[in-house]
Amino acid sequence: MDVQGIWFDPCGMLPRHMAAGVVLSLLLGLWSTQALEMSVGKIPFLEAVNGSTVMLPCTYASCIGISNLYFNWQFNESGTMVKMCESVIPKEGVEPDVTILRERVEFVGSSKGNNVSIVLWNITFEDEGQYTCFGRNPKEKGKNHSAIFTLIVVDELRVVDNTLTIIIGSAVGGAIGLLMGFMLLKNLTLFVLAKLEEKNKECLVTSSGIDNTENGLSGSKADSKPTPKKK
């Protein structure tokens, strides 16, 4: 339906420009959920000691699957991106034939786990910097994505001072222990008071019976009369 040059959808709810915008948003949302994604994990950095061996993690994901997925690892060497390894995964479940382009690099990933991680052997201070895990999936019309992992190389790992943590833990533990001791003492006190109260009640009942007997009240032996003699 067309009124004054404005097109409405069949339900008569949205103008043409609004309907087109909604459709475009839905398509973009659907495309983004299907797009290839490379990930280096929740913590994208690592601090390691000079001379040690480290793993640089990277996984990929795609809602519509992969076909001839190309991936590589690159190192930012003073502003120049240098390839460390590369390969193509033909399809899901097929292990790639990885080409290693730099010394001390080993591929340890597996397509069965969507994993394209690598290991760096005997790292040096020159290995410190940013590493990029790149992927491109032709099945998504060449959609590509990358993730950056930062490696920090040090002489020795920093010793974390746990003094404050120990003090806080001790204080909290002491407070909990004091509270438990107070509750135990409270319960013990209530128990003793209940026993004393119960004993006092027994004493009152006993003393009441004795008083009745001594005072010659009804029901006591002092109240009883001698049997009259027969004439």
Residue 10 lies in a domain: no
Can you tell me the distance from the alpha carbon of 63 to that of 37, in angstroms, rounded to the nearest whole number?
10
pLDDT tens digits, 149-163? 999 999 988 776 666
Q: Whole-prediction pTM value?
A: 0.58
Residue 193 lies in a domain: yes
Task: Mark whether 122 and 189 lie in a shared domain.
Answer: no
φ and ψ of 168, to 5 deg? -65, -45
| Domain count within the chain | 2
pLDDT tens digits, 57-78? 999 999 999 999 999 999 999 9
* Domain encompassing residue 90: 33-154
Task: Mark whether 123 and 84 lie in a shared domain.
Answer: yes
Residue 27 lies in a domain: no
Confidence band, pLDDT 50/70/90 cuts, at residue 8:
very low
- pLDDT at position 32, please? 46
| Dihedral in degrees, nearest 10, Cα atoms 144, 105, 59, 137 | 30
Task: Mark whether 38 and 147 lie in a shared domain.
Answer: yes
**CATH code assigned at 73:** 2.60.40.10
Of the residues 91, 122, 154, the one at which a domain ends: 154
